[in-house]
Amino acid sequence: MLRYWTAGESHGPALVALVDGFPAGLAVDKTLIDAELVRRQGGYGRGGRQRIETDSVTFLSGLWRGTTLGSPLALEVINRDAKLEKLEDVDRPRPGHADLAGAVKHLGGVRAVLERASARETAARVAAGALARQLLSLFGIEVGGWVTELGGIVLGDRIGTLPELRIFRDASEIYSLHPERDAEVTSLIDCVGKEGDTLGGVVTVRVDGLPIGLGTHAQWDRKLDGRLAQAVMAVQAIKGVEIGMGFAAARRRGSEVHDPIHYDPAARDGTQLGFTRPTNNAGGLEAGMTNGQPLVIKAAMKPISTLRKPLESVNLRTKQAEEAAYERSDVCAVSACSVIVESVVAFEVAAAVVDKFGGDSVEEMLARWRLYHDLARSR
């Protein structure tokens, strides 16, 4: 079982991801992980914290001469803005944040809650996801994510391979596939920022090269769509998750939703084993299992809950009405959200690959991958 945990506070010394069950024999490229950490810090509308931090990963365990050992991996991302011991508590909880519920739950102060609830924690998840992507690449599995809607402006997708789409995304200040519309979106972000408000949006992640049969139909908690939905929904500020057509499927007839199955003998040697579909409304998942089509998942991010023009709140000491506290924050972090969702999806897909093909070593996994496809083609 491939899994991970994170530890660390927003202004503590560091963030840590502890990855367990990672196979031995993968030569890790640290620069690829650092590149994803840098992308997470980017995107138009970010706050001053991103000018302080220069995120990079350090491996504290699990590597020998740059190659995974099969033992737990500890990944550390240092906080350069480490000042937790100097910070005062917060008396006025922010609507939409963990402040009030967490303070009541733990019978303590807001600071103890907001430091861990902060989206700064996602730097550790991005590091773990970037590591998982390197495992997936050995099997020809690619992951890509981008912004498809921001502040109510619908930007949409493009047709193309993931390498082709990344060219458009990387040319965009907001990580969309339509850099020609950046000025329209950045102008909105600037306007909203001057008003002391914040913006949310929608991000899309696509995974190509998946084999048929990752996940399972046999038990509810092991269905891959359920595991993906949990991983994405657990990202800070995410309020909705769709796979494939998502909610739109509920508004159409079955004949307009389900993807017909065809067979092309010329494509028999691929991971789809010759089975093709003219559409991908299912988003690559049926009954908790991959069906050989690209996996497509969308996530809706609410506007950040820390507002420079605060909403009404209550002082927890006096119980008197006051404005909510303000902690340094972003106007819009939807671009960063696309990187984070991409990372958590990559890790869950890698976990499903390990479940299916074993996780002791990369060499054994690749052999089982080939054997599985040979057996499937022989039927």
pLDDT in tens, 180-189: 999 999 999 9
Which pLDDT score is estimated for 329?
Answer: 77
What CATH number is attached to the domain comprising 100? 3.60.150.10
Report, as an integer, the average pLDDT of 78-101: 93
How sure is the predictor about 20, in pLDDT bands with cuts at 50, 70 and 90? very high
Q: What is the pTM of this model?
A: 0.95
Q: What confidence tens digit (pLDDT) does each residue in 34-55 have? A: 999 999 999 998 876 566 668 9
Which pLDDT score is estimated for 229?
Answer: 98
Report, as an integer, the average pLDDT of 92-99: 94
Three-state DSSP class for residue 292: coil
Number of domains in the chain: 1
As a whole number of angstroms, the distance between CA 131 and CA 147 comes to 22
- The mean-pLDDT minimum among 8-12, 50-54, 144-148 falls in 50-54
Angle of helix 122-137 relative to helix 334-357, nearest 10 degrees, comes to 50
- Two tokens at 225? 């769509």
Q: What confidence tens digit (pLDDT) does each residue in 307-324 have? A: 889 899 999 999 999 999
- Two tokens at 351? 């976990």
For the four alpha carbons of 156, 159, 162 and 166, in that order, the dihedral sign comes to negative
- Two tokens at 81? 């803005």
Which pLDDT score is estimated for 49?
Answer: 57
As a whole number of angstroms, the distance between CA 47 and CA 169 comes to 21
Looking at residue 332, what DSSP letter applies?
Answer: B
Domain containing 130 equals: 3-377
Share above pLDDT 90 across residues of the chain, in percent, rounded to a whole number: 90
Run of H or E residues at 322: strand 321-323
Q: What confidence tens digit (pLDDT) does each residue in 323-342 have? A: 998 877 789 999 999 999 99
Report, as an integer, the average pLDDT of 132-140: 98
Contact 172, 178 (CB under 8 A): yes
Give the end-to-end CA distance of the chain in Å, rounded to a whole number: 29
Which ranges constitute the DSSP H helices of the chain? 30-41, 49-52, 99-106, 111-117, 122-137, 162-170, 182-194, 224-233, 254-257, 334-357, 362-377
